[in-house]
Amino acid sequence: MTDTTIDQVDDLARAAARAFELTVRSSGAERAGWLRAVADRLDEHADELTRAGDHETALGDPRLRGEVTRTTGQLRLFADVVEEGGYLEAVIDHADPDATPPKPDLRRILRPIGPVAVFSASNFPFAFSIAGGDTASALAVGCPVIVKAHPGHPETSGLTAGLVASALADAGAPEGVFAMIEGFEAGLALVDHPAIQAVAFTGSVRGGRALHERAAARPAPIPFFGELGSINPVVITPGADAARGSALAEGLAGSFQLGNGQFCTKPGVVFVPRGSGVESRLPGLVGTSPHKMLTESIAAGFSRGLEHLRSVPGVTVVAGSGEAAGEEVAPVVLRVGAEQLREHASELFEEVFGPLTLLIEYGDEEEVLAALAELEGSLTATLHAQDGEARPELVAALERIAGRVLFAGWPTGVAVTWSQHHGGPWPATTSQHTSVGATAVRRFLRPIAYQDAPAAVLPPALQDDNPLRVPRRVDGVLQVPEASPVR
Active site residues: 227, 264
Reference 123, options 69, 42, 59, 180; nearest CA is 59
389, 237 Cβ separation under 8 angstroms: yes
Per the DSSP assignment, residues forming a β-bridge with 111 are 446
- Separation of alpha carbons 259 and 264, rounded Å: 11
Closest CA to 236 of 430, 421, 455, 382: 382
Within 10 A of 291 (CB to CB), how many other CB atoms are there?
Answer: 17
- With a CB cutoff of 8 Å and minimum separation 6, the contacts of 221 are 215
Burial 194-220 (b: 16+ CB within 10 A, else e): ebbbbbbbbbbbeebbebbebbeeeee
Helix (H) or strand (E) holding 68: helix 61-84
What is the 8-class DSSP label of residue 364?
Answer: S
Residue 345 and residue 376: Cα distance in Å, rounded? Answer: 11
The CA dihedral of 138, 142, 143, 145, to the nearest 10 degrees, is 70
Question: Which run of H or of E encompasses 110?
Answer: strand 106-112
Do residues 211 and 199 lie in contact, with contact meaning Cβ atoms separated by under 8 Å?
yes
